[in-house]
Structure 1
Amino acid sequence: MQKQVIEFGGEPVGIVIPDEDRLKFIAVKFHVIDLDERRFNSADEVRLAIRDLVRSRNLAPTAHV
């Protein structure tokens, strides 16, 4: 397997590359940087992690100053 582009909401947000029998995610967008360099079993697992990360940020309370 070669590198594969990972999209979220129709926008490329990173790539996965084979690494130690898994896939390493390389983020190219800031809103998914928390997942950068993490290893996953599949591209679908990466997409689920991105979805969960984005949802958790959308649900987090915002500080008003």
Structure 2
Amino acid sequence: MSAPFLISKALDPVFAVFIGVSAAAMRINREEKERGKSTEQTIESVRRRWGLLVGGGKKDDGVS
């Protein structure tokens, strides 16, 4: 009979999300390296895209 939980009932979902995010980051980094970009350029690109996602893509132009 298998164990009902890998770590614990509360930590299994956290572990799964961590593994998923790590796998996605590794894949993105590998694909960007194949395109000739450095890891630093990839990180900057992800930060910029995350800012567009979270910030809604709006720039503050100083006009009220």
State the TM-score, normalized to the length of structure 1. Answer: 0.39
Higher strand proportion (structure 1 or 2): 1
Structure possessing the higher radius of gyration over alpha carbons: 2
Which structure carries more relative contact order (alpha carbon 8 Å, separation 6+)?
1
State the TM-score, normalized to the length of structure 2. Answer: 0.39
Higher helix proportion (structure 1 or 2): 2
